[in-house]
């Protein structure tokens, strides 16, 4: 892997959330610290300095930023939350932009937008991109019996990481639908999102880049080990609980023998989705198929970037290590920022000359 020469003139600052408090097991904390140690070691081996900071508040983040010169620094943004606000992915980019730092991943607007499943769905439909039929319910008194597509999947409209998705989320009739909609709205204090349940192979398509997009080796999840289709879900257990049956039966695998025409169809849909949602630097597009037709299920801006996570595994399949994946993402971010700055200078020069 040839590093961009400009990266050797930069220091990488890795910003993470503090790994403590409710919801963190000791195993997860240990894994997180091991990830960071591996990153710092492998980045240093490439001749680039990297320092990690754990922050939980905006004040802590701003204190870190004051130590660095934006002209000599690239921020690897791994902050998913600040100030105790759930799903506040967008807060760190606000502060990074305010202080003039180049940083990896999507900006505030995109991170807020892609968290909202309804806004994402409307964009996909507007752009005529294949995606399951859907509806959203915002009131417990709302009439829901007009929905007639079953089985259907019910989930929170404003959550991520598969929160709220269990086998009960797949419903087969209006009575089950109403019960699950009420449960979601009461539990998560927000709208319930319903869509046609696509019972088929799921493809996780990792992409990096901005102007020039590159699709990384494809991974897939085959749910054939579950006899009951209500269990054919990429739910919270299958993503995070390593001892669960759901996790063990939904391990992604690299797809090496996919029909070339179908592969091009999947990749084309993923790239169009990436562009339509204005993703930056990297993302993962999740697509399921039914009777040979692909449907976009989810758009993951700034996806899980742990060493064992899907995005990193796809990148490492190309023969690079974990540290090199992060260096590459920093290069992509730096190129994006410099391209924007050049475009802004060129536009202002053109305006000046025309006047």
Q: Is the pLDDT of residue 346 over 60?
A: no
Instruction: State the span(s) of the chain assigned CATH 3.40.50.
Output: 5-105+314-354
CA angle (238, 239, 240) in 5-degree steps: 105
Higher-scoring residue by pLDDT: 26, 304: 304
Tens-place pLDDT, residues 243-271: 788 888 899 999 999 999 999 999 999 99
The DSSP call for residue 309 is S
- Both tokens of 319, joined, read 């023969």
pLDDT-based confidence at 22, cuts 50/70/90?
Answer: low
Instruction: State the span(s) of the chain assigned CATH 3.30.1490.20.
Output: 129-196
pLDDT-based confidence at 344, cuts 50/70/90?
Answer: low
Mean pLDDT of 112-138: 95
Predicted local distance difference test score (pLDDT) of residue 201: 96
**Is 297 within 8 Å of 273 (Cβ atoms)?**
no
Task: Measure the CA–CA gap between 51 and 15, rounded to whole angstroms.
Answer: 9
pLDDT-based confidence at 310, cuts 50/70/90?
Answer: very high
pTM: 0.90
CATH fold group of domain 129-196 = Dna Ligase; domain 1 (3.30.1490)
CATH class, 5-105+314-354 region: alpha beta
Task: Measure the CA–CA gap between 173 and 151, rounded to whole angstroms.
Answer: 7
- Both tokens of 143, joined, read 């009439």
Task: Measure the CA–CA gap between 212 and 184, rounded to whole angstroms.
Answer: 40
What's the whole-number average pLDDT of the chain?
A: 90
Q: Is the pLDDT of residue 337 over 60?
A: yes
Predicted local distance difference test score (pLDDT) of residue 347: 53
């Amino acid at each position: 892997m040839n590093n961009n020469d400009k990266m050797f003139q930069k220091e990488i600052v890795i910003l993470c959330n503090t790994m403590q408090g409710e919801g963190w097991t000791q195993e997860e904390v240990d894994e997180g610290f091991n990830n960071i140690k591996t990153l710092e070691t492998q980045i240093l081996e490439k001749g680039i300095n990297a320092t990690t900071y754990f922050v939980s508040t905006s004040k802590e983040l701003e204190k870190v930023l004051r130590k660095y010169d934006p002209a000599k620094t690239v921020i690897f943004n791994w902050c998913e939350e600040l100030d105790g606000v759930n799903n506040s992915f967008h807060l760190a980019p606000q502060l990074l932009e305010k202080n003039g730092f180049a940083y990896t991943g999507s900006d505030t607007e995109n991170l807020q937008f892609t968290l909202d499943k309804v806004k994402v769905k409307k964009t996909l439909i507007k752009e005529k991109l294949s995606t399951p039929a859907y509806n959203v319910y915002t009131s417990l008194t709302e009439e829901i019996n007009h929905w007639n597509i079953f089985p259907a999947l019910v989930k929170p409209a404003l959550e991520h990481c598969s929160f709220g998705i269990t086998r009960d989320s797949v419903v087969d009739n209006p009575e089950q639908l109403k019960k699950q909609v009420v449960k979601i709205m009461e539990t998560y204090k927000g709208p319930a999102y319903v869509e046609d349940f696509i019972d088929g192979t799921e493809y996780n398509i990792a992409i990096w880049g901005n102007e020039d997009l590159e699709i990384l080796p494809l991974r897939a999840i085959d749910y054939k080990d579950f006899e009951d289709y209500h269990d054919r879900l990429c739910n919270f257990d299958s993503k995070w609980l390593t001892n669960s049956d759901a996790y063990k039966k939904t391990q992604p695998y690299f797809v090496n023998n996919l029909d070339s025409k179908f592969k091009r169809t999947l990749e084309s849909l993923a790239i169009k989705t990436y562009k339509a949602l204005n993703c930056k630097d990297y993302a993962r597009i999740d697509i399921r198929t039914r009777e040979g037709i692909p449907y976009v299920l989810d758009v993951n801006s700034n996806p899980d970037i742990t060493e064992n996570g899907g995005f990193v595994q796809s990148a490492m399949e190309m023969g690079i290590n974990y540290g090199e994946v992060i260096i590459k993402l920093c290069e992509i971010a730096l190129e994006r920022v410099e391209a924007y700055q050049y475009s802004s200078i060129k536009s202002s020069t053109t305006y000046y000359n025309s006047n």
